[in-house]
Amino acid sequence: MTLDLKNLSVFYGKTQALFDCSFSVGEGEFVALLGSNGAGKTTLLRAVSGLLPFKGSIAFSGMALDKIVAQKRLALGIAHIPQGRGTFSEFTVDENLSLGATIVSNRSQVREDKDRWYETFPRLRERRDQLAGNLSGGEQQMLAVARALMSRPKLLMCDEPSLGLAPSITQEILAIFKTLNKDHGMTLLVVEQNVDITLQYADRAFVIEAGQIVASGAATELIANEDIKKSYLGVA
């Protein structure tokens, strides 16, 4: 699979939020999209997953997505963990995982996948019968990730996993993404404001500012680039 954005523009009414954004995510990559508050990160993910109309082109494995509705994009393998996680607080952990598999008709696949992800997230197994609303922030983020994995995505997109989490918990979540990437071959597009921590785990990153892609590079290059960090990412 590849995700290719070419000259992606998104408007809210007459207000333009994204301006000709172009970039690609290749099979097996862990890519970060970095930018400060209001830069357009959430807008970009929502355009990819089918929640906002766009101009320009978004292709998934060469297939143009403009006429494909959100539910169909999920079936094609695009999973989107929204900002704020989007887990169902009135449902148990296990029920949330089931809800992540609504597009899967094979019941034994659902059982298999739950077992696999409970293996990866032992704390979710321990809390499988608890209401999601009673989990800690970090556990809720893990649940959001595991729930998204239940649809067997080819591309997992996550919007600001660090939101509301202590730095050590953010590290733990990013380490989980790295494991998913390295051990399970998952392709990742992770949106973050938390630049330094994210660049420790991602392979490559794009920087978005005021709706435009303003920089890109290998994480190892960007981590050393004080100019970019100062100019666009609010890092002192």
How far apart CA 130 and CA 118 sit, in angstroms, is 14
Query: Torsion-angle region of residue 5: left (phi > 0), alpha (psi -120 to 50) or beta?
Result: beta
Assess 17 for contact with ligand ADP (CB under 6 A). Answer: yes
Nearer to ligand ADP, 85 or 127 (CB): 85
Assess 42 for contact with Mg ion (CB under 5 A). Answer: yes
Query: Torsion-angle region of residue 61: left (phi > 0), alpha (psi -120 to 50) or beta?
Result: left
How far apart CA 224 and CA 228 sit, in angstroms, is 9
How far apart CA 233 and CA 218 sit, in angstroms, is 16
Nearer to ligand ADP, 43 or 151 (CB): 43
Assess 37 for contact with ligand ADP (CB under 6 A). Answer: yes
Site string for ligand ADP, 39-78 (x = CB under 6 A): xxxxx-----------------------------------
Nearer to ligand ADP, 39 or 169 (CB): 39
Least distance from ligand ADP to the Cβ atom of residue 188, Å:
17
Q: Is 200 helix (H, G, I), strand (E, B) or coil?
A: coil
Closest C-alpha among 56, 218, 79 to residue 151: 79
37 binds, among Mg ion, ligand ADP, none (CB under 5 to 8 A by kind): ligand ADP
Which parts of this chain interact with ligand ADP (CB under 6 A)? 12, 15, 17, 35, 37-43
Which parts of this chain interact with Mg ion (CB under 5 A)? 41-42, 83
